[in-house]
Structure 1
Amino acid sequence: MQMKDSQTVPASRDKVWAALNDPAVLKQCIPGCQVLDMTSPTEMTATVVIKVGPVKATFGGKVTLSDLDPPNGYKITGEGSGGVAGFAKGGAAIRLEAAGDDETILHYEVDSQIGGKLAQLGGRLIDSTAKKLAGEFFTKFGAVVSAS
């Protein structure tokens, strides 16, 4: 699945960059995130519970940041296993564009793959769930960053 979009965040680019690299902020914003630990400046481990249609799964996995270009953007890749529910892996290119002093446009391009029981649910359900989760993340991210 591929998805490309942008979101305006009511905060400066430096503030948005700092939040994108803060595990405490990310944990608050990622739907279903139970654990998010920074293991190095460019790696994190995560545990996320996701429900897609009738399938609810707990995914454990690793997230890596690469192509870091502070405060302009980076690439984030990850993979996780949900046991019998299957696996998920993918990445996103994140680019930050200043829009005045107090707003930032966050552009993202996502590419992901799933397998196992989740893949059997059908493309439309997977796509709509992915878009819903991305929307929840960016709504919460904007609220958390602008409030801090």
Structure 2
Amino acid sequence: MELTETHTLPVSQQSAWEALNDTEMLRACIPGCESIDPDGENAYLVALSAAVGPVKARFKGRMQLTDIDAPNSYSIVFEGQGGAAGFAKGNAHVSLEADGEAATRLSYTAHAQVGGKLAQIGSRLVDGAARKIAGEFFKRFGARLGGAEAEAEAGGGGGGGGADGAAAPGAGGNAADQTVPHNTASTDAADGESGGDATKRKKSWTAWISKS
């Protein structure tokens, strides 16, 4: 399976890079994601639930960031096991390019291989499910980025706190939950985001990347 797409994000390239390296932001935007936790240098353990056609399972896997060129690009090597549902493994390359001062063009190419029941249901269903998950991710990601940017502008312009002094993104109730127009792929309505203790789980990939 190969998946190649381009999306425009409503923030600067640096802000987009920081968001892509924010595990709490990613956990909230990846459909069905339960956790993303550090597992060594530039590596993370991921747990998520997904449905591919008639196959539904909870997957646990690991992903490693390689070829890191902040704030322009990185590659991801991933593998996951879903018990009787089968497995998935592959790699992806993500690149960012400024599109003016307040927008960023994100492009990625992903290659994946599946086995077990996932391989038996056919490549068309697997490809369709992958595109749906990716589309929902970018729908949520763009909305949260746009909401966070609008909140930052509102908070920075007033000088004082008052009613506009909203909490920072990732600290529980995100103002970015408000859907903002963007040109990413549109899919079905978002699944209920898993809760979790944001304060405990809030870890920036950027901090880990800086150690390399």
TM-score > 0.5 by shorter chain:
yes
| CA deviation vs aligned residue, 1:75-127 (integer Å, no higher than 9, x gap) | 01110100111001111100000001110000000100100011100111111
Structure 1 gap segments, 5+ residues each: none
Which residue is equivalent to 2:103? 103
RMSD over aligned Cα, in angstroms?
0.9
> Which secondary structure state, in structure 2, belongs to the residue aligned with residue 91 of structure 1?
strand
Which residue is equivalent to 1:21? 21
Structure 2 gap segments, 5+ residues each: 149-212
In terms of mean alpha carbon deviation, does 128-137 or 138-147 score higher?
Answer: 138-147
Rounded Cα–Cα distance in structure 1 between residues aligned with 2:141 and 2:44: 18
- The structure 1 segments of at least 4 consecutive aligned residues displaced by more than 6 Å after TM superposition are none
Which residue is equivalent to 1:76? 76
Which residue is equivalent to 2:62? 62
Identity over aligned pairs, percent: 47
Q: Give yes or no for contact 1:50–1:57 (8 Å, CA) kept in 2.
A: yes
Rounded Cα–Cα distance in structure 2 between residues aligned with 1:35 and 1:101: 33
Q: Give yes or no for contact 1:23–1:38 (8 Å, CA) kept in 2.
A: no
Which residue is equivalent to 1:145? 145
Q: How far 1:41 sits from its partner (Å)?
A: 4.7
- What TM-score, normalized by structure 1, do the two folds share? 0.97
Which residue is equivalent to 2:124? 124
Which residue is equivalent to 2:173? none
Greater strand content: 1
Rounded Cα–Cα distance in structure 1 between residues aligned with 2:21 and 2:34: 18
Larger gyration radius, structure 1 or structure 2: 2
Which residue is equivalent to 1:86? 86
Rounded Cα–Cα distance in structure 2 between residues aligned with 1:66 and 1:141: 22
